[in-house]
Structure 1
């Protein structure tokens, strides 16, 4: 019997690249997204990850069909940009509800069957942005930092079982995420922020446009999944982005803020 994997966010970006790649590697793959996907070798499993009951129903549907669940690769997420002072709260709540509470919902629905697998794997996708505060991306950074903390806690909680939990933090991936996410119009910001916000937003869009391909990151995640022993964290990205997570920990706080402010100036 092939191992069974659930990939969230299968309708676009990383999830869309990863789900069929797992299928070609011999996995029985279910792709979860708000709309049904049509991907080679992937069984569509429609559900909105922000709806806990919908996620539970979808996972139960998978279990009735397969009788097991061996891996979850949680790729679903959403971005957002704006100043803390003026970003509409309902927009910020969408980011947190999707990135953190969506991760929570997926974990609650799948941890039980994953622990029953002799080789259970749970990969939660955070972001390099979850390791630091980026100007005008505060709620996104906070939501991804929460995913890292969730992963850290889970690893301690599932000790004594065969389940291994890890957090994957990619850098910029060249997808349509910038075009589809909420980005507060610069005109809505106080003049104190306006010019810096526009420069930071332009820089972010440029970084994403020149980012890694989703196929590349998917390939790296497949290799992680196939390892016998997972480490707590994996950072995927070009050297400068990978180094930033180390610099954040090693540099004095003021020095790090100076580096980051220069990068986004």
Structure 2
């Protein structure tokens, strides 16, 4: 029987690349985003993952049509930049609502169907930024760290079922995410932060521009999804980015801060 997959965040980036790729591989794919999308082989399922009721309605429609759900790949997320002292709280809440609470909502809504599948798979996308605190990206890092912890807990909670849960942390991806996310204007930032904030923001823009393609990350996710046994964590990125998640754990705190400070200006 054809397996049914839900991919979130299909209006751009990795989700947009992954959903048609899975369809070409023989999956019956539903693509979720806040607006209707038209992707080859993909059935559009509009919903905002931060809206719990809208999400329940959308998943209800999927289950009523298909009678099953075998895999969820959660690619939806937003970024943002600003110092903790100055960043508007409503902007920070929006990032947390989408990245963490959206992941929470999606898990609660789809877990019954995924557990009922003979081969349930749940991939939650975090970020390398979720493994560390990056200057002026505090709420984004916190939201993605929350996804890692959520995945770890959920993996233990669902032990003994057919469901396998894994968290995937990509590095920089060359998408339009920088252009569409909120980045606090440097003029609004306190003088003590302004120069370092501007350098860190310029560095982030350059890193994203030179990042992996969405198609590459999508294919890596496809490979993970079809594995017989999922590892708890996967990191996708350049060798230096993969090493950074390990270095963060083993370097003394001040040494790690020095390395990160040099990298982000």
The TM-score by the shorter chain falls in which range?
A: over 0.9
Q: Tell me which residue corresponds to 1:167.
A: 167
Aligned counterparts of 2:159 and 2:54: Cα–Cα separation in 1: 28
Q: Tell me which residue corresponds to 2:190.
A: 190
Q: Say whether residues 1:137 and 2:137 are aligned partners.
A: yes
Aligned counterparts of 1:171 and 1:34: Cα–Cα separation in 2: 24
Q: Deviations over 1:148-200 (max 9, x none)?
A: 00000000110110100000000000000000000000011111100000000
Q: Tell me which residue corresponds to 2:245.
A: 245
Q: Tell me which residue corresponds to 2:256.
A: 256
Q: Tell me which residue corresponds to 1:15.
A: 15
Q: Tell me which residue corresponds to 1:180.
A: 180
Q: How many residues align?
A: 265
Q: Tell me which residue corresponds to 1:124.
A: 124
Q: Tell me which residue corresponds to 1:148.
A: 148
Aligned counterparts of 2:105 and 2:202: Cα–Cα separation in 1: 33
Q: Say whether residues 1:104 and 2:96 are aligned partners.
A: no
Q: Tell me which residue corresponds to 2:44.
A: 44
Matches within 5 A, 1:17-96: 17-96=17-96
Aligned counterparts of 1:111 and 1:54: Cα–Cα separation in 2: 17
Aligned counterparts of 1:207 and 1:220: Cα–Cα separation in 2: 20
- How far the C-alpha of 1:258 sits from its partner, in A, is 0.6
- How far the C-alpha of 1:52 sits from its partner, in A, is 0.6
Q: Secondary structure at the match of 1:228?
A: coil
Structure 2 residues without counterparts, runs of 5 or longer: none
Aligned counterparts of 1:241 and 1:79: Cα–Cα separation in 2: 18
- How far the C-alpha of 1:130 sits from its partner, in A, is 0.1
Aligned counterparts of 1:2 and 1:220: Cα–Cα separation in 2: 21
TM-score by length of structure 1 reads 1.00
Q: Which runs of 4+ in 1 moved over 6 A?
A: none
Aligned counterparts of 1:178 and 1:63: Cα–Cα separation in 2: 34
Q: Tell me which residue corresponds to 1:233.
A: 233
Q: Tell me which residue corresponds to 2:203.
A: 203
Aligned counterparts of 2:41 and 2:149: Cα–Cα separation in 1: 33
Aligned counterparts of 2:249 and 2:147: Cα–Cα separation in 1: 18
- How far the C-alpha of 1:121 sits from its partner, in A, is 0.1
Cα RMSD for the two superposed structures: 0.4
